Structures are given as C-alpha cells and as structure tokens.
Chains A and B, each alone.
Chain A
Amino acid sequence: MSKSPQSAVDFAIHTRALNLWYGSFQALFDVNLDIKQGMITSLIGPSGCGKSTFLRSVNRINERLGYARIEGAIEVMKRNVYDPEVELIQVRKQVGMVFQRPNPLPISIRDNILFGHRLHSKSKGDEDDIVEEALRKVLLWDKVKDRLKDKATGLSLEEQQKLCIARLLPVKPSVLLMDEPCSALDPKGTEAVEELIWELRGEYTILIVTHNMAQARRASEECIFMLMGKVIEHSATEEMFVTPAQAETADYIEGRYG
C-alpha cells in the first residue's frame, strides 16, 4: 500500500479483495478499503447494499451464521482478523460494536460498564474509576452518577445508546463499529449521540453506518458510498458531497435512490 499518496497515514482497517456470500447470494464484491486510524468514516448507500454486512465482517460476527462464507482479508491494526491463529475474543476486544437498537443488558448501569472489563481482566482493579471514566467520556456521568445501581434498561433510549458506547471503552478497543446508532432515537437524542461520536474522534477509529445523508455530512470526515455490495466511492466527506466523482454517488446523494 506504499504506492498511494496516503502512505504516511496509518490505516486501522484495511481490506483486500473481500468477498462475502450468504449461501449462494453474494453480498460483498471485491471490497478494497483503507480506513484511516483515528478518523470517523461514514458508510452510506441504499438499504440492502451491504453496509451492515461489511461492518459485521470486521468483527467476525457474520461467521455465527453457518452459511456465511468469506474470501479475502480484513486487517485490523495491521493484522488479518481471518488469520487462523487469531483469537476471536481478542478481535472482539479490539473492535467494539454499537447496534441500531440500544441493547444494554438487563443489569445495573454499573455492571453494564464493567461487563466487558470483567470478562477480560481477572483483577478487580479500580472498578469505580473505570465506571466513572467511561461514563464521563460519553457525557453521561453527571446524569447517572447517583443511580449506578439502577437497571440500565430503565434509561431513556439516548442514554441507553450512550451507555452501550461507554461499556465498550474499558476494554480499550481501537475500532468502534456503529450500525445506524441513531436511527432509534429522536432528533434531540440523535444530536446528542452524534456530538458524542464527534468527541471520540482521534482516540478511536469509528466506522459508522447511516442512511441519513445530513448525518454523514455533519458527523464524518471520510465517506464511503456502497451500492449492491460494491464500493463505488471513498473520499473525504466534503468532497463527496460537493463534487462526487461517480454518477451513482451523485444520484444517491441527491436522493434519486430509496
């Protein structure tokens, strides 16, 4: 990859000729992507174009489906996660995922934050500090510090989604995958979560799927446009929205697809 002009930049995710099949249906075609470390990259495209599929192959959650087959390689922090020697648990640790519907566990706020930490670390450590740090990071600490023992499922959707982001942080992931993280939220919640994602920029590499064009434009630095399992265009967000290189991209941005 040293031939590209971006060779000085580190890539957090680097895919080579990635193809994916669900049974006999091919969902991803020859995906070659370099996603820069510490940046927010948004993934846009009409529904069914393979955005979630791509995301789910980065943390290898797709392989849970017995019938999903993958070819090619995905390097996360320079290591092919599909290498047979790679331990799945370590991949999941490095690559956190946030879902469309907030899915806090039906346990206390505090236990949610500590869940991942307790899985991966034997030492009790300073659990209180870990909880506080994670919650501060997602701008939730002041709101919930007096009810850490309450069930997380009692929080508002916006707070739940923030909590779902917060609980990934104690295990120190390098990549955060977010699959339409705001689509279950109201406009105010969306704004708050977007703001939070923007805050996390630099420290984590964030790959965010959205079908909300305005959100992609507002809240990402680079943008990838996919269509029917193929990457059509990948460029700086401003560039893509102002001067799209491909006709399909322009059509999509101007709302000519569903």
Chain B
Amino acid sequence: MFEATALNRRNDRTQALFRMLFLLMTLVLIVPVLIILTTLIVKGGPVLSVDFLFTSPTDGMTAGGIFPALFGTIWLVAVALLVSVPLGVAAAIYLSEYAPDNWMTRVINLAIINLAGVPSIVHALFGVGAFVIFFGFGTSILSASLTLAIMTLPVVIVASRESLQAVPHAFREACWNMGATRWQTIRKVVLPNAVSGILTGVILEVSRTTGETAPIMFTGAAFFLPFLPQSVFDQTMALSLHLFVVSTQVPGVPEALPYGVALVLIAMVLLMNSVSIAFRMYLRGKKKW
C-alpha cells in the first residue's frame, strides 16, 4: 500500500518538467533586464561624477556633462504633471462619483481606454498641430509638456478612477445617510482612501513620461542648447532626446558617454518606481478595511 505506481511516477516527472519549463521562461524574462543593467553600469559607470551631472556638454557634445538635459527633463515632467494630474483626477472623480451610468459615460470611458493606446508619435504630431501652431506656443517647454500631459492623461484618469472605485461603496452610503453631500463624501471619505492608489498611478506615469522622446522632439526639446531655459516659453534639452542625439547623431562621441546618459535616465526612472512602490506599501499598511 501507498507505494508509487508507474502512473504516479510518470505524473511526477511531467510535473517536474513543467516546473522547470516555467522557471526557465521566467529567467529568460529577467536575464535581458539584468544584462541591460550590468552593461549600463559597467560601461556608463566610469563617466558618472558630480561634474557629469552638473555641467553642460562641451566640444560639440563629445565631452562635458548633461546638466541642461537633466534640468530640462525635470522641467518638462513637472509642467506636464501640473496639467495632467488636476485634470485627470477631476475627470476621474466625475466619472467615478457623479456620472450617471448611461451611454455617454460608457462612450467616454471607452474613448479614454483607447486614448491610452495611441502611439506617442501620434501625440507628438497632435502636439505640433495644436500647441506649437494653433495656440502659437511655438516649440517650447509649454508645448512639449502639454503634449506629454495629453499623453499621460488617460492613464492618470484610469488609475485614479480605479482607486476611487476600490473604496467600498458602504462608506459612501454611510456618509449619504448621515446627510453628507456628494462633495463632502468625496472630500472626507473617498479621496483620503483613494489617494495612495492615485499617487502610485501618478508616479508610475512620471517615470514613463521621463523616458518619452517622440512627443517632445518636435514640440519643445532641442538637440543642443548651451544655456538653461528661462521660462516655459523657451526650448530645452531633455535627457531622452540627448541620449538619442549622442548615440546616433553626433560623430566622435566616446563610447562611455551615451551609456552614462542612459544610466542616469534609468536611475531616475527606477528611483521613482521604487518611491512609488515604497509609498504604496506604506499606505497599504496604514489602512485596513
């Protein structure tokens, strides 16, 4: 009794085989990421220094630092967020808390989901048409940031709406039944409980925005500017575009330089992602329903 039969043994072998297979697939996924990171660190690491981060490129962009690009990226992302977050959260609040469940709301929701799938180069062309030409902002931080904002809006809306809807309906009923208006309910109960999810979504968007090249290329980012932008109506350099330029457009760039730029870009993105994850864990730990 209880000895393994031939069938048991065969099942065990199949089981082990599949386990190996799935493990292998997972490794195949992770390996490229590890290779990219180590290559960047090994090849780009040596050029990193405080000077690299805080000086301008020199000698036709074959030497010097990346400060104008770093500074420009921060500008572009910050202005984009300033526009997309209030707009996106407001839209999400409307859709989640006020909108009646009718065909129009469904069409809007569908449009938002589809908007999230529009390729960034299309957003770029839209940005040129709308902001650079029609509104006359020219190629400027403003045009580029607005383009980025339009691009990130759908994701901000979807992430915010989902966090709002994750707040149990019973909380809203409790408030309404005590005579709270919708707005009081949103402000005192729904938003405080949704804010962690909203912030996480926003930060993830920031990290995505940081790396975008196409939407800013024609709308406000310059190949090379020896000075820093003075206002949102100036053009600016940006890290992502700078990486593209030094790797493909400029002759005589030392090999380590593009790797260094890429490393800084990736470090920024990873840093923001980690902040977002840590933040989410912190807020999750604090709330219990």
Give A contacts to B, CB under 8 Å. 59, 61, 64, 66, 89-90, 92-93, 96-97, 99, 101, 103-107, 115-116, 119-120, 151, 153-154, 164, 167-168, 171
Contacts and interface: CB of A to CB of B under 8 A. Distances in A.
A97 B177 contact: yes
A61 B176 contact: yes
Nearest to B174: A103
A42 B229 CA distance: 73
A40 B179 CA distance: 23
Contacts of B171: 103, 105-106
B178 A115 contact: yes
A93 B177 CA distance: 8
Contact of B175 (A59, A90, A105): A105
B240 to A, nearest CB: 41
Contacts of B180: 115, 119
B178 A101 contact: no
Interface of B: 100-101, 168, 170-171, 173-181, 184, 188-189, 193, 287-289
Nearest 8 interchain pairs by C-beta: A92-B179, A103-B170, A116-B178, A97-B177, A103-B174, A89-B179, A93-B179, A119-B180
Contacts of B184: 119
Given A105-B189, A106-B287, A151-B288, A116 B179 contact: yes
B177 A96 contact: yes
Contacts of B178: 92, 96, 115-116, 119, 167-168, 171
A104 B177 CA distance: 12
Contacts of A120: 179
B40 to A, nearest CB: 43
B170 A106 contact: no
24 contacts: A61-B177, A66-B101, A89-B179, A89-B181, A92-B177, A92-B178, A93-B179, A99-B174, A103-B168, A103-B170, A103-B171, A104-B174, A105-B171, A105-B174, A105-B189, A106-B171, A107-B189, A115-B175, A119-B179, A119-B180, A151-B288, A153-B288, A167-B178, A171-B179
A116 B170 CA distance: 16
A151 to B, nearest CB: 7
Contacts of A154: 288
A55 to B, nearest CB: 11
Contacts of A93: 179
Contacts of B176: 61, 64, 92
A222 to B, nearest CB: 24
Contacts of B174: 99, 103-105, 164
A99 B173 contact: yes
A59 B177 CA distance: 8
A145 B127 CA distance: 60
Contacts of A96: 177-178
The CB with the most chain B CB atoms within 10 A, among A92, A99, A106, A153, is that of: A106
Contacts of B175: 105, 115
A157 B289 CA distance: 13
Query: Which of B168, B177, B178, B184 gathers the greatest number of chain A CB atoms within 10 Å?
Result: B178
Nearest to A170: B178
Contacts of A105: 171, 174-175, 189
A18 B288 CA distance: 41
Nearest to B288: A153
Contacts of A89: 179, 181
Contacts of A104: 174
Contacts of A164: 174
Contacts of B170: 99, 101, 103
B237 to A, nearest CB: 46
A110 to B, nearest CB: 15
A120 B188 CA distance: 14
Nearest to A90: B179
Given A104-B174, A171-B178, 4 more contacts: A96-B177, A99-B174, A151-B288, A154-B288
A120 B179 CA distance: 8
A231 to B, nearest CB: 24
A204 B56 CA distance: 76
Given A89-B181, A105-B175, A120-B179, A66 B288 contact: no
Nearest to B170: A103
A53 to B, nearest CB: 15
Contacts of A119: 178-180, 184
Contacts of A103: 168, 170-171, 173-174
A106 B287 CA distance: 8
B179 A66 contact: no
Contacts of B173: 61, 99, 103
Nearest to B182: A64
A116 B174 CA distance: 10
